[in-house]
Amino acid sequence: MRPLSLLLAGSLSAWTLLCVASPAAATGNLLTNGDFETGLLAPWAGVGGLGALSTIIVQTPDNGPSAPGTHHAFLDNRAEANGLTMAQTTGLGTAVPGPVFYSFDLKVGTAANGGVFFVEIFAQNAGGAVIGNAGLLGNYSPANWTTFTGSFVAPANTDHLTIQFEAPTGAVTGSISSMKVDNVLLYQGTLTGTKGTSWNRLKNLYR
């Protein structure tokens, strides 16, 4: 009979090999503060087009339908030919190759004179280079809160993800793109630890 310590060592080695051979997809929402219920924008950030006439703030009391709450993000772009963009990048090592599921709630504020709204999701390698994407999602202009869902396949060497919300305006006076954003969800594998009945229903759709 082998000593217990050897058995444990053998099991540990097998487990280590298994982990190396097949990295497990993370569970739960890969994003932080996807529902904006902290009342603050961080770790979301404006990554383009911020200015006196183009702002991103967290507002209350309106809330998207996918999860309970009282806050949402509001992108308000009233500058001509301007690419106001809000983004969040997940941490290093948070994603793996394979299906990536997304969900977000949108409600238009104003879309006028060439103002439009798009969402992009990027798969990045460990060095941060973009190696895959979900395509250009939109133009979105829902008059009432609407939940948009879908998926794409992250390619080999995917290490983490970025999702960005884009409210570009046209090159004409009076072009406006404003949008309320809430309940942003990115996940792989099994969705756990996410509050909200709608998100749980969404999870069941992908089982």
Contact footprint for Ca ion (CB under 5 A): 35-36, 63, 69, 71, 182
Which residue has the CB atom at the shortest distance from Ca ion? 69
For the bound state, the minimum distance from the C-beta of residue 67 to Ca ion, rounded and expressed in Å, comes to 7
For the bound state, the minimum distance from the C-beta of residue 23 to Ca ion, rounded and expressed in Å, comes to 31
For the bound state, the minimum distance from the C-beta of residue 180 to Ca ion, rounded and expressed in Å, comes to 10
Residue (109 or 170) nearer to Ca ion, CB? 109
Residue (71 or 160) nearer to Ca ion, CB? 71
Residue (70 or 139) nearer to Ca ion, CB? 70
- Number of Cβ within 10 Å of residue 31's Cβ equals 21
H/E/C letters for each residue in the chain?
A: CCCHHHHHHHHHHHHHHHHHHCCCCCCCCCCCCCCCCCCCCCCCEEEECCECCEEEEEECCCCCCCCCCCCEEEEEECCCCCEEEEEEECCCCCCCCEEEEEEEEEEEEEEECCCCCEEEEEEECCCCCEEEECCCEECCCCCCCEEEEEEEEECCCCCEEEEEEEEECCCCCCCEEEEEEEEEEEECCCCCCCCCHHHHHHHHHCC
What's the CA gap between 164 and 130, in Å, rounded?
13
186: left (phi over 0), alpha (psi -120 to 50) or beta: beta
For the bound state, the minimum distance from the C-beta of residue 183 to Ca ion, rounded and expressed in Å, comes to 6
Residue (122 or 145) nearer to Ca ion, CB? 145
For the bound state, the minimum distance from the C-beta of residue 87 to Ca ion, rounded and expressed in Å, comes to 18
Residue (28 or 65) nearer to Ca ion, CB? 65
For the bound state, the minimum distance from the C-beta of residue 60 to Ca ion, rounded and expressed in Å, comes to 9
Residue (154 or 184) nearer to Ca ion, CB? 184
